[in-house]
Each structure stands twice: as structure tokens, then as C-alpha cells.
Homo-oligomer: A and B are copies of this chain.
Amino acid sequence: MLKEECGIFGVFGHKDAAKLTYLGLYALQHRGQESAGIITFDHTRFRTIKEMGLVFEIFNPKNLSGLTGDMAVGHVRYSTTGSSNIKNTQPFLAETSKGTLAIAHNGNLVNAKELHGQLKSSGSIFQTALDSEIIIHLLSKSREKNLSDAFIEALKQVKGAYSLLLLDKNSLIAARDPYGFRPLCLGKLDSGWVVSSETCAFDLVGASYIRDIEPGEILLISKDGLKSIKPFPFDSHAFCIFEFIYFARPDSQISGQSVHCIRKKLGKRLAKEAPVQADLVMAVPDSGNSAALGYAQESGIPFEFGMTRNHYIGRTFIEPSQQVRDLEVKIKLNPIKEILKGKRIIVVDDSIVRGTTSRRRVSALKEAGATQVHLRISSPPIKYSCYFGIDTPQRRKLIASNKEVEEIKEFIGADSLGYLSMEGLLESAALPPQTFCTACFSGDYPIKIKDKINKFSLEEKT
């Protein structure tokens, strides 16, 4: 399963800033389960709590009450083992030539290595492996006196994916890269403003969704109200289509569209593109739910719950020993035998990465009695690594980069395997096709990737 790397949430001008951010992060927890943090400003001091763990493990009424102030930024983070480290938690706080700044970043810079080298040569020092630190260095070095001008100057030097929140003593600034890789939305609550990676966080805090921050937009929120700046020449947009397919929560809206409804459309289209005779349609819960329902409705084959999800496994299920292996797949989802026995089943999932988990699922379903297992994927084959904020494995580990669909089917042990076509995907996704980044399927990277560096190379050097 692919993993999203971050969720961000900010508040300006609301007395409950920390509490709202806490709730916002709760709602964005699916975007990162490794660490979380909140920084507030109370017009005297910046207050910080950042820890490894889930939002509910880190925050409580007592420590939240110490996060005084009416301005806040928060962050939830996922990352690979290598950088699993308290020093790489966000938001990032630093004193700079433009005052004390807190920054929260969702995305990935593709020229980080280059900038890092240049900055270091010029005498800058680095304490983390975060892109945020690079941006703050650039900002602090800017000759521009004004914070927003300096921020713009800094952003003009970075390339890649970023949805950013920047907090100083006077303002909250939200920024989205010119391609708009990652989402970022504006909401209103009472007389204050909130900014979030996804709208589902607005629902929880009771804010109303105003609009998306636009690709290339820098939005200043201060006591003088909103000010929108678009300092970049228009290139093309490249919104990560995987937000629709898998990452975003089904109850979020992107560009005004419900994620669940789009996923149902993907499922309906998939039913047309890859039909098969079967007794029932089921999802890999919960990521495949929406598409499976769409497939069932379109095909007329009954929808069923064929597996039960265990809600009580921790972030990582720890297998008790080597002798009792391969439990991770089983402990998460258990097939319901009476439903599956003797049936031809269609199983809908959002994607296949390495193929090993799918193989175990298919095998479990057959053991449970299914006579045929037809696997349907609500997106095209993933053949290329992502450099814009998603944790994909190296290309050679992506099964579709090495194998044809027929070979993948064989590997997985399914009776048939159907992927959604690129056309099917783009026609269902409800934004113009050219506005998406589809590089993981096509290899057409919106920004040229020079040396296919690993995202975590900065840290590995340390």
C-alpha cells in the first residue's frame, strides 16, 4: 500500500487555535501516523509540542492547554524507517532574519540535494533532513525585507511538490507549488481562518469550506484579512491523481468534488472496462469500498462484505515469532467463509504496489472457499516511483514495472486481473486530464527528475 507523507493544518484568529489544530490533525491522521506536532503563537512566545506517535497518543487536554494563542500550525507525518526520528518531526521552528518562523510542509522538493549543497557551501548549517529547513534557510538569506517577499524569493528557488503553512508573529501564510501536486484548502470558522490538507478536517472542527488554495498561490492571512499572491508564471498543473484514487479520505472534497463519489465512478468505469461474470463484488476494506460499490452498481452483481476488518491493531502489527508468520495480512482482514464458499468473486482494490499483499489476500480468499477470484484495480498499473511526496518503493520493486498484467495475475494467483485504463481514470476524475500528475503510471514527470535521487538522501549523508 502506498503511503502519503504528510497532512497539515493551520489556524489564524481563533482563540481555540491549538484545540482546533488537534482536531484537524485527528481528521488528517490517515495522511501520516508516525509523528505529529503543533506550534502556536500567543503574541509572546511560540509554544511547541512534537512527538513520535499518533495524535491521540501525543495530545491531551493538559498539554493542549499549554499551547496558548490564537494562531497555530500542525503537522502529521509518515516517513520511512530511515528518517523515523524526533528531530525530523514537524512543524519546524527557527529564528531567522525575518523573525521566528514555524513551517509545516507536505510534499517533496526534487532539487533539495542541490540546494542543500549550495547552502552548506555558503556556510549554512543543517540540523534535520527536512525540506522545510531548506526553505527556511532560503527565506532567511533573502535580501527582501518583507516576509512574504522573502518567502516568494525562497519558493522561486525550490522545485517540486509543496503545500506549505508558514506562521510568524503576524500572519499565517499558505502556499501551494505552481503544479499543485498536493491539496490545500481554505476554511472559515467564526471570525477566524483555517487551512487544511483536506476538507474532512473542516467538517470535524465545524468550519465551512471556502475554496482550494490554487496551484502557485500564496495566501497571506493576517488581521488585515486575506491577500492572494500569484508570483509564478503559469506552467501546467499536476495534481496528484492518487489523492482521488487512495490517499484522501472519502468524505473529503477536492476541487469541490466528493472523493467517495469519484471513487465510485472509477469503480463503475472499471466495471465497464473489465467486466467478468461473478456471484458477488467485494472490496478490500476500507480502501476499496467506494470503487467496489461503484463496480457492483454498474455491473448489477451484488455487493457484499466478504472480509472483516480488525480495528484494534496498532500502527504496526508485531508478529510474535518467525514460526507464526505471514500474519499481518490475516490479522487485518479475515474472510467470511459462508459468504465466499463456492462463489465466484470480484475483489476491488485501489492499487497493486509490490504484489505480495495482493497475493496473500487472493490466497486467503481461496482458502475461505471462493472458487474464482477476479481482482479489479481502480487505477492503472503503477510503474514509476513518485518524487512528489508519496512513499513509493524503488522502481524495480514495483511489480508492474517488471511484469505484464498477465504475469502479475499469475504471480498473484487471481483467476483474472483487470486494471482501470488511463483514459478511464482521467475521464472519471472530473478535472481536465492535463491538470493531473499521472507520473506513477506514465513516467511523464511534470518536473524533470535529474538523477532519480532518493528522497531521504539528505539524511543518509548524515
Q: Report A's interface with B, CB cutoff 8 A.
A: 16, 18-20, 22-23, 26-27, 29-30, 33, 45-46, 54-57, 59-61, 64-65, 86, 93-97, 100, 116, 120-127, 133, 136-137, 140-142, 200, 203-205, 249-251, 253, 257-258, 260-261, 286, 289-290, 293, 297, 302-305, 307-314, 317-321, 323-324, 327, 330-331, 334-339, 461-462
Contact = CB atoms under 8 A, between A and B. Distances in A.
Contacts of A55: 312
User: Closest 9 A-B residue pairs measured CB to CB?
Assistant: A123-B141, A258-B338, A56-B314, A29-B312, A19-B320, A251-B308, A95-B126, A94-B125, A251-B334
Given A203-B330, A334-B200, A93 B339 contact: no
Contacts of A30: 311-312
B141 A120 contact: no
Contact of A140 (B56, B59, B124, B200): B124
A302 B308 contact: no
A100 B29 CA distance: 34
Nearest to A337: B258
B304 A335 contact: no
Q: Report the copy number of this chain in the oligomer.
A: 4
A311 B249 CA distance: 11
A74 to B, nearest CB: 13
A122 B257 CA distance: 46
A442 to B, nearest CB: 29
A320 B64 contact: yes
A59 B121 CA distance: 36
Contact of A461 (B95, B116, B286, B290): B95
A93 B87 CA distance: 11
A90 to B, nearest CB: 13
B330 A204 contact: yes
B16 A323 contact: yes
User: Which residue among A57, A286, A336 has the maximum number of chain B CB atoms within 10 Å of its CB?
Assistant: A336
A124 to B, nearest CB: 7
A281 to B, nearest CB: 11
Given A54-B312, A61-B318, 19 more contacts: A19-B320, A27-B310, A30-B312, A33-B312, A45-B462, A60-B318, A61-B320, A65-B321, A93-B127, A93-B462, A94-B127, A95-B126, A125-B133, A125-B137, A203-B335, A251-B334, A258-B338, A261-B338, A289-B305
A199 B311 CA distance: 17
A291 to B, nearest CB: 11
A310 B26 contact: yes
Nearest to A312: B29
Contact of A305 (B250, B309, B323): B250
Nearest to A290: B305
A122 B55 CA distance: 37
Contacts of A46: 462
